[in-house]
Amino acid sequence: MKLFEMSNIPSLDLNDFLSDDTNRKQSFVTAVGKAYQEIGFLSLKGHFLSKNNIDDLYKQIKLFFDLPLDSKSKYEFEGFKGQRGYTSFGKEHAKGKKEGDLKEFWHFGQYLSVQDKKIYNYPDNPYVKEVPDFNKAGENTYKALEKTGLYVLRAIALFLDLDEFHFDQYVVNGNSILRPIHYPPITKEPDNAVRAAAHGDINLITLLMGAHGKGLQVKNNKGEWIDAIAKEDEIVVNVGDMLSRYTNNKLKSTIHRVVNPPKEYWSKSRYSIPFFLHPIGSMKLNVLENCIDKENPKKYDDITAHDFLINRLIDIGVMKN
């Protein structure tokens, strides 16, 4: 099994975990745990996204974001329904920051049977009639990244000495979000704003497409900002605040940001597509007992995933208190 450094984040192959070779599988589990304890990020090949799937989604999101604002605004919703559809430029900001991030984005949510819709009560995914293939491309990508994330969580469960399928009960039909993001060309000197200010993700893990060029930066243990760059066939996978909290900070939810490019690149748009893997809202994020000891006493109060999510959506300006 190969574990090597690329811009200081480790690169792994999911095929090692899927292998019938127990040594390869265990090596992957050990490497995932090491990466998430030390930096909170890794790049991953062998995932379930096909190149055609990736190319199609990028084509469709560019068509959508190129629509006139009047067309896009029809798909913008307030409150919890804002977890689906369009969010306009500059509306979201990092926790503790007042300047809006220099981005607009779309949310694809969970795909459920009619019966499960009644159980989970998630908002519906709106259909974009102006871009007929947009929704299907989103659905294909959502399901491929959800499947990939499930296997990463199984490796994490084994590293934490839990049953391999510990997280399945929480993330199957979970409140996960696929977020295609458009960072438009920068037309004037930003007023203390960046494309995405320094933040930690809310969810369990994030799977990110489109980290193939400079822009995404991660803060390492020395407090230095380092570039997180994946190869063309890789996605970036990082720990979110829910998982860090659940493990009593044994696994790191690392602060990261998307910086503005050098001025010569201001005229170009940037696109990225993170998949925020969330559990069902009723999951208790109470700190795992086997992550508590004399050296590491319990750091967090008990809370459900739903309440934690709502609190954070208020913090970043997406929902009103």
> How much is the pTM?
0.88
Tokens 């510990």 sit at which residue? Answer: 166
Q: What is the pLDDT of residue 2?
A: 40
Q: Which residues of the chain have pLDDT under 70?
A: 1-8, 90-101, 187-197, 211-214, 260-266, 316-321
Judge whether 321 lies within some domain: no
Q: Name the CA radius of gyration of the chain, rounded.
A: 19
> What digits encode the pLDDT tens for the residues 155-212?
999 999 999 999 999 999 999 999 999 988 776 665 555 455 677 789 999 999 875 5
CATH of the domain at 47: 2.60.120.330
Residue 194's nearest CA partner among 88, 253, 276, 266 is 266
Q: What is the pLDDT of residue 102?
A: 74
* Interatomic CA distance for residues 277 and 177, integer angstroms: 7
Q: Which domain holds residue 119?
A: 4-315
Q: What is the pLDDT of residue 95?
A: 52
Q: What is the pLDDT of residue 313?
A: 81
- Our count of domains for the chain comes to 1
Q: What is the pLDDT of residue 196?
A: 56
- Specify the pairing of strand 85-87 against strand 225-227: unpaired
Judge whether 9 lies within some domain: yes
Residue 109 amino acid letter = G
Judge whether 65 lies within some domain: yes
Judge whether 137 lies within some domain: yes
Q: What is the pLDDT of residue 217?
A: 84
* Interatomic CA distance for residues 71 and 2, integer angstroms: 47
- Specify the pairing of strand 41-45 against strand 9-13: parallel
Q: Work out the number of other CB atoms within 10 angstroms of the CB of residue 120.
A: 14
Cα distances (angstroms) measured from residue 278 to each of 6, 145, 160, 169, 293: 27, 12, 19, 12, 27
Q: What is the pLDDT of residue 218?
A: 84
Judge whether 170 lies within some domain: yes
Judge whether 320 lies within some domain: no
Q: What is the pLDDT of residue 192?
A: 55
Q: What is the pLDDT of residue 139?
A: 97
Judge whether 158 lies within some domain: yes
